[in-house]
Amino acid sequence: MAREQLSVLIPEDRLQARIRELGAKIRADYGDEPLTVIGVLKGSFIFMADIVRAIGGDVRCEFLGVSSYHGGTRTTGVVRITDDLRNPIEGQHCLVVEDIIDTGLTMDYLLKILAVRGPKSLRTCSLLDKPAHREVDITCDYVGFSIPDEFVVGYGLDLGERYRNLPYIAVYSP
């Protein structure tokens, strides 16, 4: 594996500390209300596992599979649902969990298709925010870290399906 192309941007201890903070803030905002957390696959699977435990309380986990990349480092702008939710979300407080918001196109699309299903509320949480390439005006309710304009991997984020298993976020330099 070409480890020399990676440099650590957010180490594991900072990730975990921030996720605990975010989880506590989210739980405080919803009080004792049940919350349906919707993880966007594949990139959010590791963050999802940690954030739902940090939120605690009455949480339901759902997953939505989307694909907007085809193995490269730039988005195609075309969002494709590869796996839909297994259950209805009507009348539920829903929180969409993403790994990263870059152009914002994926989140914008997801919010549109989920809003018409009648959730009680719909908010967004992203571990990373890369505002440099924003193409749509998206405000994320809960953000872990705002990062510079770099391609990052690790902690669920991939390059051509590699590096998802790194326990930290690293900048990938070709």
**Residue in 152, 166, 169, 170 binding ligand IMP, rule: CB under 6 A:** 152
Helix (H, G, I), strand (E, B) or coil at 111: helix
82 vs 84: CA distance, rounded Å: 7
Residues 6 or more apart from 4 whose CB is under 8 A from it? none
Given a contact cutoff of 8 angstroms between Cβ atoms, the answer to whether 7 and 37 are in contact is no
Which position among 102, 108, 141, 149 bears the catalytic label?
A: 102
Task: Tell me the closest approach of the beta carbon of residue 75 to ligand IMP, in angstroms.
Answer: 4
Q: Which two tokens stand for residue 153?
A: 């991997």
Options 15-23, 49-57, 97-105, 115-123: segment touching ligand IMP (CB under 6 A): 97-105
State yes or no: is 102 an active-site residue. yes
The correct pick among 9, 51, 89, 99 for binding ligand IMP (CB under 6 A) is: 99
Q: Considering Cα of 158, then 163, then 169, then 171, what sign does the dihedral take?
A: negative
Minimum CB distance to ligand IMP, residue 134 (Å): 8
101-130 residues in contact with ligand IMP (CB under 6 A) are 101-106, 130
Edge-first strand order for the sheet with 152-153 is 6-10, 169-172, 152-153
Closer by beta carbon to ligand IMP, 27 or else 130 = 130
Q: Minimum distance from CB of 30 to ligand IMP (Å)? A: 24
- Smallest distance from ligand IMP to CB 59, Å: 21
Answer yes or no: are the C-beta atoms of 152 and 100 closer than 8 Å. Answer: yes
- Cα 96 versus chain centre, distance: 7
Nearest to 107 by CA among 143, 71, 59, 72: 143
Q: Binding segment for ligand IMP among 16-24, 28-36, 46-54, 93-101 (CB under 6 A)? A: 93-101
Question: Using CB under 6 A as the criterion, which residues of the chain lie in contact with ligand IMP when the complex forms?
Answer: 43, 68-69, 75, 98-106, 130, 151-153, 157
Q: Which residues are catalytic?
A: 102
